[in-house]
Structure 1
Amino acid sequence: MPTNAENGNDKFISQGTNSPGVQELESFATFCNLDDLYLGVISHQFQSFDDKIISVKPSNTKEDYSASFHILRKHKRKCPKLDENKAIVSSQNSIIPTLSTEAIIELAAENFIQSASKSRKELSVLNHPYSSSPLSHSKDVQLIVNLLSCAEKVDKEQYDRAGKLLDECYKMSSPIGSTIQRLAFYFIEALYEKVGRVTPKGMCLDPLEAIIWPSIPLLALHKEHPLPQITKFAGIQTILDHVVEARKIHVIDLEIRSGIQYTILFQALVDRSKHPVEHLRITALGTKSKETMEETGKRLMSFAESLKISFSFDVVMVADVLDLKESLFKVVPGETVAVYAAYALMGLGGKADRLERIMRVIKDLNPCVMIIAEIEANCSSPSFIGRFVESLFFYGAIFDSFAECMKNDETNRREVEATCLGSSIKNVLAAEGDERKIRHMSIRVWRAFLARFGIVEIELSMSCVDQAHMVLQGFPCGRSCTVDMNGKCLIIAWKGTPLSSLSAWKFK
């Protein structure tokens, strides 16, 4: 698939295909590990967590049988009404319409509540628009019904019954089958691991050891899925909006990975006619993998030299985020500082002391703007059944997006689903306490937490929003992806289900 630059959607990069900037960007992309689509994969820089980011008083009583019903109903009420045009996908080989992944999950949830209710008082009132559809008894719907039943039994610690039902679900699932079968396969693996924690099935693997970063599959995902490019283009545009007159720019990146987002920044600064930049400095923060970050710096240095930009790259390494100090960042007089945190803070979601430390150090640096991109989901509940339901809908949307965006790239799709999504789902559902390293939280939760540091959310510019919409236009699957505003925050959604947020912040 052509890149957005080739489609004319990147107003930062010169339009001519013979432009040195375009050629350098393309060559840069060919040898970068594009692991910047952070769909729940564990941060390698910040790896310690607690159960709660905000103090929540735990319940002393076990949830009763109706708890799962209540959570399913609650999820249904807070979701916008499903657009029937998006819920139904026409099938060329059948006169029966095909439901979207979200519609199948919603229908299965209704069927689960109706079949599992003990009395009429517990019968579902979800009123699903497709409850009378012939698809209501399809294999995919039944698979999700069984999966919900498994989760309910696991939540009640009925592990023997859950194990038997899991065995049946496993036979119905497949990592190479339909979207629902793939989704269920990795949820079933997670439930097996959850049961294995309290039954003689052995210890579960550390998700950090289970993840192998596949550079080629992630490169394919980057090219074929709009989410990572929306984050980068809109995020870099927001930095540019706040350094319009700056001659010396210092960007501090909390999770740099391949650093390919800065090729966009380089090109934009080269094309800037007013207020030419005298020097650009990028500082990468980490607690491990120093050599990897230094390699990223070398690639960026080579790219900057090709564009004749005065550039320097630094790495700040600390054994623990608690050791972080303002003086480590070497800010020089006259520099305008900006902070870029793409899918970095959720790695600190369970360690309030470390998150507080990094925010206070950033405040002392007095950046002109802090860009925060995070997964827009609520998968950090201390309640297992709560995490399960939220995760089922969220990852259902992710799998649905992969099915559409990577439909012609089965090999890379399957690899990304197995390594990135599979390990994430396992950690969210099977791990507890410090072992649960995946903490997805919504912008609402982040707003409440960040408010304590005297940092305020600021408006994103129309240029930022325009960048997001232009990126979407370059993707065949762009019609299923939407960009909307939640207050001052940009929300990227798939068929109505939020996937990611992008926001800008400034200290008072």
Structure 2
Amino acid sequence: MANVMCFMEGFNSGAVEDKFSSSSQGFESLEYGTEACKRSRDIYSLGSDYGFHPDESSLDNGFIVTKYDQEQQQQLSCSDFRLLDGVSFNVASPPIQAYFEEMVKLAGGIQDVIEPKKEKHVQFSFPALELLNNYRSGFKRLNGEGRIIEPRNDTANTEGATKKFSTEEIFRFAGEIFIQSSSQIVDGLSMVSHPFNLSFSGLSNEEIKDVELAGFLLASAEKVGCQEYDRAKRFLNQCDSLSSDTGTPVQRIVYYFSEALKEKIDRETGRFKSKGLERVQKVDIDEAIMSPNPATLACHQTMPFAQITQFAGIQAIIDNMAEASRVHIIDLGIMSGIQWAILMQALASRQEGPIELLKITAIGTTSKHLIEDTGRRLRSFAESMNLPFSFKIVMVSDILDLKENLFETDATEMVAVFSQFLLRSMIVVPDRLEALMRIIRKISPYIMVVIEVEANLNSPFFVSRFIEALFFYSAYFDCLEACMKRDNVNRVVTESRYFGEGIRNILAAEGNERKIRNVNIDVWRAFFARFGMLEADLSMSSHYQAKLLTEKFNCGSSCTLDMNGKCLIVGWKGTPLLSVSAWKFY
């Protein structure tokens, strides 16, 4: 459930080197997208182990995509799909809602509103910005080829209506001004000459202020990247006085990015104490994701990404096991287990024949009691569906201790592996990641479904991480603006406890302390190829399922569904956020 929190703390910790293996530059070398990266090609060499060598065309944030077969889609009717959205099976069905409501009850309910903090209003002028001329590629997003769903702006079609710019567009606008600007020194700060008058750009007064605030953040990041910390602090002081964690999405983003930049400065200058680390240790992110809590449940219920990826992923399993009588699911990080309630309802209502047994094996290294709670909920749900069900937990203190025989697979079973935001959390512990993949290879499942974060947040270069994180989180903050009121307590908790900590870790931490190291699907493809994995097609049913889910959310019109090769990319207004892919072993 709470999959929207996918980019938080790692699954596992351990003192290991940052390099993926001794024979390669590892996952950290797989991030690309800036001129700085081009000047450091040796760092980005992947080596023969990966069989992947970036060239000029790949050193940006674009995607190699294939066009979606719209003609085939039109020729097929809804009755042709083995769908999850049948009369007795959909996200709003009574059984699924009962499962969800049980988790809400355990979480103590979902609260709605908090007392908003007083927002700050200060007059300011546009700062001089000197960054982004070397980072133009950071502003390239999906180009629309292979797109299944385009984002819609319903208000823009109304005659005379003023277009509301998205959060990403505000930062993109500020970045373009930043790139185009010439600068001069005024009172120790670099002040920008306006390339054009913002009042004629179609921006509202609030948006103009947001663009200017975004400019201060970009300027501070540039100075941090250049290690000009005194100058950076001046811009950060402006950010502090103008940002707010309860204001516009731009004000909220700047608030958390500013906090992260200040911590980075303290770390770099030796002023950093243990305060930051102590704060992180008080929040067990993995446990927070697994256990029902109001913030994560509210996000699952109101934001579309988790349910879209879950339904598309489960549909892929159903499509590949349509006639299997004994199904064995190996879940690499089970969380709440709501995805398996979805599968159970589908299996219980399928027409191909009765299911003899659904077996789920959950792998864990911590929080065994939470996995046991999930198992109890699933057993109860299976009983309500009259579905033969078995649940087993494989607990190991270290992934290196995982052995093939612990899964107790049977020759009569059809095995599927489901990985939801687990692999990215192990990039920081590459020996564990490789060990896990070797075990999966030995098991040789019929299908492996992988849901991951679609972002390049693993660069060794600070500015590259900053730009990518800025657009990635802008999309989430923009979505929250569309889905929840600004004073909604669950929104504030989500932004501070999860997004804020994620931003802090990406920007301020280095070495093994930097747990959040997401990479995109092209990187995973190169990695999976080493283990004999071939990408499988997601069926038309999975595509349709994803499209159907977007229509069930009030903000679903802003979701984008794109195809990157055979992989489904779920985004917000064109910014990629999550990926769903299916794999087979040869």
Query: Per-residue displacement from partner, 1:42-86 (whole Å, max 9, x unpaired)?
Result: xxxxxxxxxxxxxxxxxxxxxxx9874211x122356539xx996
Structure 1 residues 91 and 238, CA gap change in structure 2 (3 angstroms): closer
2:167 — aligned with what? 101
Structure 1 residues 315 and 112, CA gap change in structure 2 (3 angstroms): same
Gaps of 5+ in 2: 1-80, 107-128, 145-149, 186-191
1:80 — aligned with what? 143
SS in 1 for 2:555: helix
The yes-or-no answer on 1:146 pairing with 2:216 is yes
CA contact (8 A) 2:266 2:272 kept: yes
The yes-or-no answer on 1:416 pairing with 2:494 is yes
1:400 — aligned with what? 478
CA contact (8 A) 1:269 1:277 kept: yes
2:203 — aligned with what? 135
Gaps of 5+ in 1: 1-8, 36-64
| Whole-angstrom distance in 2 between the partners of 1:478 and 1:299 | 29
1:459 — aligned with what? 537
Deviates more, 1:292-301 or 1:400-409: 400-409
| Whole-angstrom distance in 1 between the partners of 2:322 and 2:152 | 40
CA contact (8 A) 1:252 1:284 kept: yes
| Whole-angstrom distance in 1 between the partners of 2:584 and 2:405 | 20
CA contact (8 A) 1:107 1:128 kept: no
Q: TM-score, normalised by structure 1?
A: 0.83
Match of 2:386 among 308, 314, 328: 308
| Whole-angstrom distance in 1 between the partners of 2:483 and 2:446 | 36
Shift of 1:283: 0.6
Query: Per-residue displacement from partner, 1:214-266 (whole Å, max 9, x unpaired)?
Result: 71122111111110101111111111111112111110001100001111111
CA contact (8 A) 2:85 2:545 kept: no
1:31 — aligned with what? 102
Match of 1:111 among 162, 173, 177: 177
CA contact (8 A) 1:34 1:215 kept: no
Structure 1 residues 415 and 278, CA gap change in structure 2 (3 angstroms): same
Alignment of 1:99-498 (within 5 A): 99-115=165-181, 132-133=200-201, 135=203, 138-199=208-269, 200-203=271-274, 204-205=276-277, 207-210=280-283, 213=288, 215-407=293-485, 410-498=488-576
SS in 2 for 1:102: helix
CA contact (8 A) 2:168 2:475 kept: yes
Structure 1 residues 423 and 77, CA gap change in structure 2 (3 angstroms): closer
Question: What's the C-alpha RMSD, in Å, of the aligned pairs?
Answer: 3.3
Shift of 1:394: 1.0
CA contact (8 A) 1:229 1:471 kept: yes
One-letter amino acid of the structure 1 residue matched with residue 277 of structure 2: L
| Whole-angstrom distance in 2 between the partners of 1:113 and 1:455 | 42
| Whole-angstrom distance in 2 between the partners of 1:325 and 1:381 | 32
1:41 — aligned with what? none
| Whole-angstrom distance in 2 between the partners of 1:263 and 1:422 | 31
CA contact (8 A) 1:88 1:100 kept: no
Number of equivalences: 461
Structure 1 residues 368 and 95, CA gap change in structure 2 (3 angstroms): closer
CA contact (8 A) 1:87 1:100 kept: no
2:70 — aligned with what? none
Alignment of 1:18-57 (within 5 A): 22-32=93-103
Structure 1 residues 183 and 69, CA gap change in structure 2 (3 angstroms): same
| Whole-angstrom distance in 2 between the partners of 1:10 and 1:474 | 19
Structure 1 residues 277 and 129, CA gap change in structure 2 (3 angstroms): farther
Query: Per-residue displacement from partner, 1:86-118 (whole Å, max 9, x unpaired)?
Result: 6896699x9764321121111111222234668
Structure 1 residues 324 and 115, CA gap change in structure 2 (3 angstroms): same
SS in 2 for 1:32: helix
Structure 1 residues 348 and 85, CA gap change in structure 2 (3 angstroms): closer
